[in-house]
Chain A
Amino acid sequence: MIVQTQYVTFERELKLDSGATLGPITLAYETYGQLNQDRSNAILICHAWSGDAHVAGYHTPNDPKPGWWDEAVGPGKAFDTDKYFIVCSNVIGGCAGSTGPTSINPHTGKPYGLSFPIVTIRDMVEAQRWLMDHLGLTSWLTVTGGSMGGMQALQWAVSYPERVRSAIILAATAALSPQTIALNEVARQAIYADPNWNKGDYYGRTPPNAGLAVARMIGHITFLSDASMREKFGRRLKNEKYGYSFETEFEVESYLRYRGNAFTKRFDANSFLYLSKAMDYFDLAYGLPSLASAFRHITDTRFLVVSYTSDWLYPSWQSKELVRALLQNGLDATYVEIDSNYGHDAFLLEVDRLAELTRDFLKRVETTDWRVTVSI
């Protein structure tokens, strides 16, 4: 499957949660499959922290790597491109084609850097809604995503319940836990501490790669589980014996270094900071008496919430809390806890069970007239 990233620029300003405005806004997006006659088969996939619009397929026949969720998106896969019209766009604040801190600030003619306004998950969804209108779509059959993508999917259902027939929320939460905020803060501190960061003003100079690599290493620890690390690395050494030095000796160390360094080649440190803040601020109950009240305007959207037993970054209790808030509104919410050792990464890796779940869930969403009230 060969795909091209497309771009659309909106010559207007988006009013952000913070009160600031952002514009013009460019969005990078990709689409897969065909939109049907009555425009009822569109699915939005929202990417996670380090993702982009390139969810599946290859950009060129010689492309070494497919999109970030190629296992789940394609002909006959969990999100079947033979049946559905699938859209994925890079979030605002990102660094893969959509407007973010690396973009040129129209007021200064220079990259935004830290003059880029703080964006929230809701702001990302607003920008995606512009894209939805641009594509001429009135409703999504489903909005889905894992981790930060799941947060966007939830925000979609809250912001535009009449345009979201269903939402599939994977390894996500309605609000970040203090533990996750703490980990994000440590990752940010690693970037701030890199002298090359220079308060975000490093474009055209050496970027803060050391800081960004450490930040990403922290991320990779949180994506795995105790069990998956033991299975993947154990205490194996690169050499046969201890070297009694500070060289990289354990395989787990070498893995983290490799992943950290590889990340600096494709990701921007400021973008990393902005997206981490967007997640920290995410709390659907913010300013409301309860999480349940966040869903009070939803009547017809069906939910499939999936968590993974070994995910300690977005643990199952958060999904259960979310499901309880949905059910207390009498909404149609299905919850599955998939038994997996892969930790938070499970949402990307447990594709067989996910394929079965989405196929069965979407069949029900498609076959019932969704305007019939499904809540109790």
Chain B
Amino acid sequence: MASHRLDLDAIIDLIPAKARVLDLGCGDGLLLALLAQRRQVLARGVELNEANVRACIARGLSVRQGNIEEGLADYTDQAFDYVILSETLAYLDRPLPVVQEMLRVGKRAVISFDNAGYWAERWRALRGRGAGYDLCSGEPRARAITLAQFIEFVTCAGAHVEQRIFIGRRGRVRYWPTLFARIAVYVITRL
């Protein structure tokens, strides 16, 4: 799936001013920089790629190079108001312990992902083109996650959904998100 970052605006809308925020897999730091600018958050990031980490530092961010698991383990319980996992859930080998750790270091977890139940994805699958990622894309292996699967997963993680935003082709989606949401953004918190 294309890496459109429509979820960024939605995430920014969800985060209150001056919150303490940790972004896992923060890339070149675009989201954190926007959050720092528009929401004056206290921003921290974790990123694996050295060039991305340097790009974050160039934006004036404080980032720790490393994988998500070791990055989370650095922090004490409830050190953050929000821990963000944006467009990364599908690529995790073991999503459950990661999300549990997110809810240990943060009061809330913000998770965005591409909805594998989006009508165009279903249509692709029906035509025999397979669900999920394209073999030719060069993208790493990714899971196909539907909204229903995610809700089940949240329960497994001992959490519940506090807020959600669905994004379709032309902005926010109100009806039938399971079919019309291209991207889903959930705020979850411990039960």
Contacts and interface: CB of A to CB of B under 8 A. Distances in A.
Given A328-B76, A376-B42, A339 B20 contact: no
Given A324-B73, A376-B42, A357 B57 contact: yes
Interface residues of B, number: 22
B57 A361 contact: yes
Given A320-B70, A323-B64, A336 B57 contact: yes
A236 interface: no
A353 B33 CA distance: 22
Contacts, number: 57
A364 B64 contact: no
B156 interface: no
A327 B71 CA distance: 10
| B contact patch SS | mixed
B54 A357 contact: yes
Contact of B54 (A320, A330, A353, A363): A353
Nearest to A337: B65
Contacts of B63: 334-335
A175 B80 CA distance: 29
B70 A376 contact: no
Interface of A: 302, 304, 320, 323-324, 327-328, 330, 332-339, 353, 356-357, 360-361, 363-364, 367, 376
8 cross-chain pairs, A with B, having the tightest CB-CB distances, nearest first: A327-B74, A364-B60, A324-B74, A335-B64, A360-B57, A360-B58, A334-B62, A332-B62
Given A335-B66, A364-B60, 20 more contacts: A304-B57, A320-B66, A323-B64, A333-B62, A333-B64, A334-B62, A334-B63, A335-B53, A335-B65, A336-B53, A336-B54, A338-B50, A339-B50, A357-B54, A360-B54, A360-B57, A360-B58, A367-B60, A376-B42, A376-B44
24 contacts: A302-B62, A323-B64, A323-B74, A324-B73, A324-B74, A328-B76, A332-B62, A333-B64, A334-B62, A334-B64, A335-B63, A336-B50, A336-B57, A337-B50, A337-B65, A337-B66, A338-B50, A356-B58, A360-B57, A360-B60, A361-B57, A363-B60, A364-B60, A376-B79
